[in-house]
Chain A
Amino acid sequence: MPTVTMTVNGKQVSGEVEPRTLLVEFLREGLGLTGTHVGCDTSQCGCCVVHVDGRSVKACTMLAVQAEGAEVTTIEGLAADGSLHPLQQAFHENHGLQCGFCTPGMIMSSLELLQRNPDPSEAEVREWLEGNLCRCTGYHNIVKSVLAAAAAMRGAARAAE
């Protein structure tokens, strides 16, 4: 079996995997990072979104070996030094979740949006999140959370200048 090595949440990890092992399986079963969920198994629901080299990826649509040498960030790696990322904070405060199953994927997906576009319109948020399904919330508070996080991050960026 091939060995795969990558950096996950800032830590270098390696493991033996079958070539057909999905990245999400490696993260969940190999590394115990179960915050990344599997909702549809077929790359449609977005529950398994993680970042690979700064881009959001559905981890059930990528093989673990394809992430060889990559920087992977999962929901567990988002909070820095024990304090929540503004997106996490915003989903918490704006009731952007109910059952919570889609939440990690929603947050990881939104993270790339805000990295690309720090000031998205509501329509842009809605379009960006088309690939992330939620069955509980009706998306209202999810969109509100992303917009709130964007505002908080812009505020923090201005303060840092």
Chain B
Amino acid sequence: MGEAKTAMVHRPLPHDSAAAHVTGEAVYVDDMPEPAGTLEIFLARAPVAHAAIEALDLEPVRDHPGVACVLAAGDIPGINDISPTHKGDEPVFARDRILFWGQPLFAVAAERLATARQAAERARIEMKPLPAVLSIEEARRRGDLVTEGLVLERGDLREGLRRAPRRLRGSMGIGGQDHFYLEGQVALALPGENGEMRVWSSTQHPSEVQQMVARVLGVAAHKVTVTVRRMGGGFGGKETQASQFACIAALVAARTGRPAKLRLDRDEDMILTGKRHDFLVDYEIGFDGDGRIRAVKMELAARCGFSADLSGPVTDRALFHADNCYFYPAVRLESFPCRTNTVSNTAFRGFGGPQGMLAAERVIEEVAFATGLDPLEVRRRNFYRRGGRDRTPYHMRVEEELFAELVETLAAEAGYEERREAVRAFNRDNRWCRKGLALTPVKFGIAFTATWYNQAGALLHIYRDGSVQLNHGGTEMGQGLHIKILQVVAEELALPIERIAIAATSTGRVPNTSATAASSGSDLNGMAALDAARTLKRRLIAHIASRWQVPAESIVWGGGRIRAGDRETSFEELVEDAYLARVPLSATGFYRTPKIHWDRRRGRGRPFLYFACGAAMSEVIVDTLTGEYRVERVDILHDVGDSLNPAIDLGQIEGGFVQGMGWLTTEELWWDGEGRLRTHAPSTYKIPACGDRPRVMNIRMLEGRPNREDTIHRSKAVGEPPLMLAISVLHALSDAVASIADHRVCPRLDPPATPERVLAAIERLRRSALQTAAE
């Protein structure tokens, strides 16, 4: 069979919904025309962080005029639990205990939200307050974990530390992050006949929402259909977090027989939904005078909130990335997923990986300041290298050495050495303003660490007019997944992209899908869609070969025409002919990621198919009197393999970097002593705005370097890895602060590096410099 490709892949096509977005035509759940009689739902929230519920009298709420239905824990026909790992620790509505401030206690439905909100005020609650555990330190003291931690070990740690010429220990606090997707959580439920329920949810995981709705309603999954056309952003915040709101909408719909919608406003969304885990990392390292790491011991404790949610896999992934690109000859890493009386933290772009990587980079920094070496040189000396220095703490061999190449290329292109000199000179000449420079690498493992999630399905229909409709298990949250999959199918069928329509993701079309998460959307679904397209193409070729009495190998398929010798037909004619000959024109596709395996108990395996790599260099200027700073310039070199769509990938790199920069600089979540989140709106929680972008930003994607693994058209995943490029900004700030004490003291600047924290670090170093001078 000959191939005449239309080269649909690797082209910078716009997002498939771009035209609909710029005209306002694109429909999100809250934009759908509401069916007549739709009820709006208000959630009543717990007023304290921890308490026993002694009485909850909802009669006055039910009696309020206009209230259609009131639901609490006792009103759930199925199981009052939406734990994604089936731990039974995550009730839809609080049972007999309040576990965090803001926890939903009950729902009120009315035709107007204002009515429901007013009615909720009339509830009578009697509570017995209990001591609330709010911090990681307190939770560790109590030893209360939401799920079992993980230990990764290799080599003899004790001996490694003992024999190391130098040792030090320290700890690092890492802040959390609110997803701040612009479209908040929302679901619309429509009851049908015979116990059926249709749900439109803004979720990255429609199959899980389906499963949870079925559990909560006490019906079989086949009664529930969940549909997702698009999300207004997800970032991990809609991987498990959408379930609760979809379930409540479905409960109201099932109870009343009326359509029901639950949309959180921004404050509710920030109070009610889990965030990126904040971490506390204790480390002990052994190294030598040449900056070579001999041994690393780390304990990574995460604030998980009141339930496990995905905290097990998140803290696992933190451990998987606590090496970043560096070989630890002897190592022991342990995670502590701590239970606290706060909202249950969840997936967020990077999924624990960024926190682990920050810890690794802190280790590098400590060694650099202790030895007086440039941090970049310390990085180089500790890179994984083939032949003896290539085993990760989880015993996977690192075959990828791209990160080292990226670092060298970027250092040369962006002029690290010259600019290091210039920064030094600037800092010599300026008393109050200091510059900082840092170049940090990223190596991010691609695959779900829960091996079974690494599967995907697709469904492809060819209609009699030759138009094609495609479904796959992935969801569109703005990342450009649909256009990439369209390109894959258009390429395979050699059709113009307009001939293929992508339909909303639906549990009724492709079942048992995995979350669109772990950067795996196009890797998994692209392969599944390709499989379906190949099946249909094979059938059509077999049909026409038999019709023309020619060998299938002689068929040339390309540009909408199918040829063999002097015989020729159009795709449309072939489809109609195949239909009349009763050739099935619909096919499913399936993919499972090869090679991966993981034995969690033994801490060994190959949890990742490959690594996506990148490097970033940031330069900052800090006002040492106020702690305020600017990011002057950022240079990025990132590896996406053979990009399926370079425009989309570039957007992911730019957006991921800026989001990561927000996490590490301005985005500060703050709970008060009562466990109340005090930063629950953009007025107090500052995500990057248009003017916060670095003054100069040069981004280049590595070209001509296809994925060494057989991924979809040799591309690489790009959703999460670029977020971690922003670690260079934190380290550049640290570098600027370190200049105060002549780079002899590690500033231990913990993120988020708000101006307040930067100033505190500056003052700490000033005192330390004075002390040194006095001695």
Contacts and interface: CB of A to CB of B under 8 A. Distances in A.
* A and B form one complex: yes
Interface of A: 28, 32-42, 44-45, 47, 74-76, 78-79, 84, 87-89, 91-93, 95, 97-104, 107, 125-127, 129-130, 132-143
29 contacts: A34-B24, A35-B26, A36-B24, A42-B267, A45-B682, A47-B182, A74-B24, A78-B23, A88-B22, A89-B22, A95-B15, A97-B18, A99-B182, A99-B183, A100-B18, A100-B21, A102-B182, A126-B691, A129-B690, A129-B691, A133-B687, A133-B689, A134-B690, A135-B182, A135-B687, A137-B651, A137-B658, A139-B690, A142-B690
B281 interface: no
Contact of A35 (B25, B477, B687, B691): B25
Interface in B175-204: 179-184
Interface stretch (B81-89, B231-239, B735-743, B750-758): B231-239
A84 B20 CA distance: 11
A101 B24 contact: no
B708 to A, nearest CB: 28
Contacts of A137: 651, 654-655, 658
A91 B24 CA distance: 12
A26 to B, nearest CB: 15
B184 to A, nearest CB: 8
Nearest to A41: B265
A135 B233 contact: yes
Nearest to A98: B478
A99 B682 CA distance: 19
Nearest to B178: A135
Interface string B261-292: 00001110000000000000000000000000
B26 A42 contact: no
Interface residues of B, number: 57
Given A35-B23, A35-B25, 11 more contacts: A39-B182, A40-B266, A75-B24, A79-B23, A88-B23, A92-B18, A100-B15, A125-B690, A126-B693, A130-B691, A133-B180
Nearest to B647: A95
A33 B233 CA distance: 21
Nearest to B689: A130
Main secondary structure of the interface of B (DSSP, over half): loop
Interface in B229-251: 230-235
Contact of A97 (B21, B179, B657): B21
Contacts of A36: 24
Nearest to B690: A129
B21 A135 contact: no
Contacts of B480: 98
B638 to A, nearest CB: 13
A37 B28 contact: yes
Contacts of B648: 95
B33 interface: yes
Contact of B655 (A98, A103, A143): A98
B22 A92 contact: yes
B374 interface: no
A138 B427 CA distance: 30
A97 B267 CA distance: 25
Given A37-B182, A39-B182, A95-B651, A100 B682 contact: no
Contacts of B91: none
Contact of B15 (A40, A89, A98, A104): A98
B697 A140 contact: yes
B682 A34 contact: no
Interface string B468-484: 00000000011110000
A133 B24 CA distance: 17
Contact of B651 (A79, A98, A132): A98
Interface in B7-55: 12, 14-15, 17-28, 30-31, 33
Given A44-B681, A76-B24, A101 B691 contact: no
B659 interface: yes
A100 B20 CA distance: 9
Nearest to B20: A100
A61 to B, nearest CB: 13
Interface in B689-741: 689-691, 693, 697
B771 interface: no
A32 B235 CA distance: 29
B549 interface: no
Most interface-central of A38, A45, A99, A141 (chain B CB within 10 A): A99
Interface string B282-306: 0000000000000000000000000
Contacts of B693: 126, 138-140
A104 B26 CA distance: 10
B688 interface: yes
Contacts of B26: 35, 100
Contacts of B682: 40, 42, 44-45, 133
Nearest to B34: A29
A93 B21 CA distance: 12
B177 to A, nearest CB: 11
A89 B19 CA distance: 8
Contacts of B478: 97-101, 136
Of B27, B232, B234, B687, most buried by chain A (CB within 10 Å of CB) is B232
A136 B687 CA distance: 11
